[in-house]
Chain A
Amino acid sequence: MYILASPQASNFVTGVDRAFLFILGVSFIFLIGLTITMIYFIYRYNRKRNPKATQIKGSHTLEIIWTVIPTILVLVMFYYGWAGWKPMTSPPDDSFEIDVIGRMWNFTFEYENGKKTDTLFIPKDKPIKLNLKALDVIHSVYIPAFRVKEDMVPGRDKFMWFEPQREGIYELYCTEYCGLQHSYMYNWVKVMPQEDFNKWYVDTTQRAAVPIDSPVAAGKRIMTNIGCFSCHSLDGSKLVGPSFKGIYGKEEIVVTNKEERTIVVDDEYLRRSIYDPNADLVKGFNKGLMLSYEGQLTDVEVEQIIEYLKTLK
Chain B
Amino acid sequence: MQATSKIPTDVSYLEYKGKYKGLLSWILSTDHKRIALLYMYSMMVLFLVGVALGLAMKLELIAPGKTIMEANDYNAVFTVHGVIMIFMIVIPGLPAVFGNFMLPIMIGAKDVAFPKLNLLSWYVYIAGALLVIASLLFGPGTPDTGWTFYAPYSFKTGTNMLPAIFGAFVLGFSSILTGLNFIVTIHRLRAPGMKWTKMPLFPWTLYGTAWIQLLATPVVGITLVLVALERIFGIGVFDPALGGDPILYQHLFWIYSHPAVYVMILPAMGAISEIIPTFSQKHIFGYKAIIASTLAIAFVGYFVWGHHMFTSGMSGTAQYTFSILTFLVAIPSAIKVFNWISTMYKGSIRMETPFYWAASFIFIFMIGGLSGLVLGALSTNIYVHDTAFVVAHFHFIVFGGVGFSFFGAVHYWFPKLYGRMYEKSWANVGWLTFTIGFLALYSPMFYLGMQGMPRRYYDYLEEFHSANILSTLGSWVMTFGLVIILINLYRSSKNGKIASINPWDGKTLEWTVPSPPPVENFDEVPVYGEKDGPYEY
Contacts and interface: CB of A to CB of B under 8 A. Distances in A.
B25 interface: no
Contact of A23 (B156, B313, B350, B374): B374
Interface stretch (B192-200, B256-264, B341-349, B490-498): B341-349
Nearest to A50: B348
B8 to A, nearest CB: 38
B69 interface: no
Interface string A147-162: 1111101111010000
Contacts of A150: 311
Nearest to B386: A175
B245 interface: yes
Measured as residues with beta carbon below 8 angstroms from the partner, the interface class of chain B is: 35 or more
A204 interface: no
Interface in A245-293: none
Given A53-B346, A83-B379, A180-B71, A149 B386 contact: yes
B394 interface: no
B348 A149 contact: no
A142 B454 contact: yes
B457 interface: yes
B480 interface: no
Nearest to A175: B454
B346 A57 contact: no
Interface residues of A, number: 82
Interface stretch (A71-79, A113-121, A191-199, A294-302): A71-79
Interface in A162-193: 171, 173-184, 186
Contacts of B240: 153-156
B72 interface: yes
Contacts of B451: 2, 144
B283 A57 contact: yes
B347 A41 contact: yes
A235 to B, nearest CB: 10
A46 B311 contact: no
Contacts of B311: 140, 149-151
A215 interface: no
A101 B249 CA distance: 23
Q: Which 6 A-B residue pairings sit nearest by Cβ, starting from the closest?
A: A81-B377, A144-B452, A84-B379, A155-B240, A85-B378, A27-B370
Given A155-B240, A156-B313, A175-B454, 6 more contacts: A2-B452, A34-B362, A58-B289, A82-B323, A177-B153, A183-B71
24 contacts: A23-B373, A23-B380, A31-B366, A31-B367, A31-B370, A34-B337, A34-B341, A38-B359, A45-B349, A53-B348, A55-B537, A63-B289, A70-B331, A81-B323, A82-B377, A83-B379, A140-B311, A145-B452, A149-B382, A149-B385, A154-B241, A179-B144, A182-B456, A183-B460
